[in-house]
Structure 1
Amino acid sequence: MKAILMAGGSGTRLYPITYAVNKHLLPIYDKPMIYYSLSIPMLAGIRDILIISDPYSLDSYKKLFGDGSQWGLHIEYAAQRKPKGIAEGLIIGENFLDGDSVCMVLGDNILYGHDFPSILKEARENIENNKYGAVVFGYYVKDPERYGIVEFDSNDNPTSIVEKPKKPKSNYAVIGVYFYDSNAPQIAKNIEPSWRNELEITDVNNEYLKRGKLKVIKLGRGFAWLDTGTYDSLIEASIFVKTLEERMGLKISCPEEIAYRKGFISKEQLKKLGNELSNTSYGKYLLNLI
């Protein structure tokens, strides 16, 4: 399985702070926002990652990540020249996937919860064992009219997904982490653009639902899914991360630590990364892991 990170968009709701900086490079406490989404496929054991962004931001991502080898990853890059929807990422990334299955993650997703790696492992195994063609995650929200909402039957099987419904049939929103089998790029090619002239990821999910191949995993009360679309929510997300990290003495979504604990890099490689940042609390944390 490979991964695609969608990190484009103009971030107009955050102007003027995103005039010159891609939204996903903004800080959430002690890390760039995209570190949190990059951590998701890493926690699932995925090491081949494609980052898709607008042409103007790709150089910034290349400067930040390089080829990913410092973390035991293989990172490639591709441009989405116009904002034509999340599902277009599956088409842009088709050659990169080369017939493999995919974990697609939106670059502004910040998730924290108990046993999250095991949940991601379950989703990946469901795809790789051909139990389902698509696995997505449902998160309980108080304002379902803002999201793509899943309706369930009495056995907790999904029966419909409606984007921003006027009369929501549940409070479970589909969040921006999607696991798909190798059919996803072709499905994305065959859906019709929405009224926004975008290829909607909800339409991809509904196609899998129509085929009886969609699994929705509900994330329980112990999970936090943080919004980063407003000035206030950026601050709130940073406070959330800061509070947890200071209480536990452990970092959230630290790619270096994940790479080390997953065996992607050695103790010597982690030490080198820590020494490069040794004058910061972040670098000292990495060295203390050793």
Structure 2
Amino acid sequence: MRGIVLAGGLGSRLWPITKVTSKQLLPVYDKPMIYYPISLLMAAGIREFSIITTRKDSEDFKFLLGDGSKWGVSFEFLCQDAPKGLPDAFNLVDKSKLNDGSVLILGDNLFYGSQIAQKVMQLLNRPDSAIFGYLVNDVSFFGSFELDSDGAITKLIEKVSSGRGFAIPGIYKFDSTVMSYVKDLIPSKRGELEITDLLKCYLLENRLSYQILDRGTAWLDTGTVENLNQAAELIRVIQTRQGMLIGSPDEVALRSGLISPADFEKLLDGYGESEYAKSLLNVLSGYEN
């Protein structure tokens, strides 16, 4: 299965910060934002990635991430010249790379919680197309869905006025037939292909399932200054109090057996004397013991 990480867009909600760099390259506490979605998909078993960026930021992502081999995975970088909607990512990826299905993840979404990687793995193992549901007090900021008395999805909504309900976090699983739907999508009034319209294609054929993220899972959209700071504070508190790392591809690569302890030590040299390097050193020490 292929992981598609959306790291393009203008990041206009964070201007002027993102006037000179991509939103997904901004720090969330001690790591670049892009580390979090990549590490989550790695922990869920994804090994091949397509990272969608803007042409302006593409070289910065390549410099930061390389080809993925340092973490035992592979990256390709694809450029989206203008915001055309989430489903447009499939138009950029070589169709042969979608034969085993794919998972689309927003580069500015952060997930944390007990067994979150296992929950994502369960989502990826569902047939056809699948989404998460996350109960929020106000769904007006998100795409959402409604359920009938039997717990089946009856309706997908791009935006509602207000109210408590199930928001759809930025992880979407699709099967190999996704392009047959994408090619027929029509841009919305804002000139973009909408992810809700793509999901509706599966729903109409009873090929869309869902999984609810429980209360122990945190989901943050780091697209605003307030949410970016909240995410950084959440990571800081957990890491400093519990002495553990969140969102580290280096650690995931080691614990998943994608790289050896010797390879991991080489990675440490690239982080200098940073606090992140010190945290990785603790990971290595605990791993060897």
Give me the whole-angstrom Cα distance separating, in 1, the residues matched to 2:281 and 2:149.
Answer: 50
Aligned residues: 284
Q: Look up the equivalent residue of 2:261 and give its one-letter code.
A: K
CA RMSD, aligned part only?
1.4
Could you tell me whether the CA contact under 8 Å between 1:275 and 1:287 is conserved in 2?
no
Residues 1:70 and 2:65 are matched in the alignment: no
Give the corresponding residue for 1:108. Answer: 108
Tell me the residue number matched to 1:37.
Answer: 37
1:205 paired residue number: 199
More moved, 276-285 vs 256-265:
276-285
1:29 and 1:38 map into 2 onto residues whose CA distance is 16
Paired residue secondary structure (1:18): helix
Paired residue for 2:287? none
Contact preservation (8 Å) 1:3, 1:50: yes
Q: Is the 8 A contact 2:2 2:98 kept in 1?
A: no
Aligned position for 1:129: none
**Contact 1:9 1:53 survives alignment (8 Å):** yes
Checking the alignment, whether the CA contact within 8 Å between 1:273 and 1:283 is kept in structure 2 is no
Q: Distance in 2 between matches of 1:230 and 1:119?
A: 26
Aligned to 1:246: 240
Aligned to 1:158: 153
| 1:46 alignment partner in structure 2 | 46
Aligned pair 1:288/2:282, yes or no?
yes
> Which residue does 1:119 correspond to in 2?
119
Local SS of the residue matching 1:252? coil
Q: CA deviation at 1:243?
A: 0.3
> Residue 2 of structure 1 corresponds to which residue in structure 2?
2
From the superposition, tell whether residues 261 and 134 of structure 1 become closer, same or farther in structure 2 (CA, over 3 Å). Answer: same
Q: Report percent identity of matched pairs.
A: 39
* Secondary structure in 2 matching 1:175: coil
Provide structure 2 residue ranges, at least 5 long, that are not aligned to the other structure: 285-289
Residue 229 of structure 1 and its aligned partner are, at CA, apart by 2.1
Answer whether contact 2:41 2:117 (CA < 8 A) is retained: no
Whether the 8 Å contact between 1:277 and 1:284 is mirrored in structure 2 is no
- CA offsets per residue over residues 20-61 of structure 1, 9 Å max, x none? 111111111000111111122111111100001111111010
Residue 159 of structure 1 and its aligned partner are, at CA, apart by 1.1
- Quick check: 1:26–1:32 contact (8 Å CA) kept in 2? yes
Q: Does the 8 Å contact 2:50/2:76 carry over to 1?
A: yes
Aligned pairs (5 A) from 1:96-245: 97-126=97-126, 132-166=127-161, 171-245=165-239
Matched position secondary structure for 2:103: strand
C-alpha change, 1:21 and 1:173, in structure 2 (3 Å) is same
Gaps of 5+ in 1: 127-131
Whether the 8 Å CA contact 1:4–1:104 is kept in 2: the answer is yes
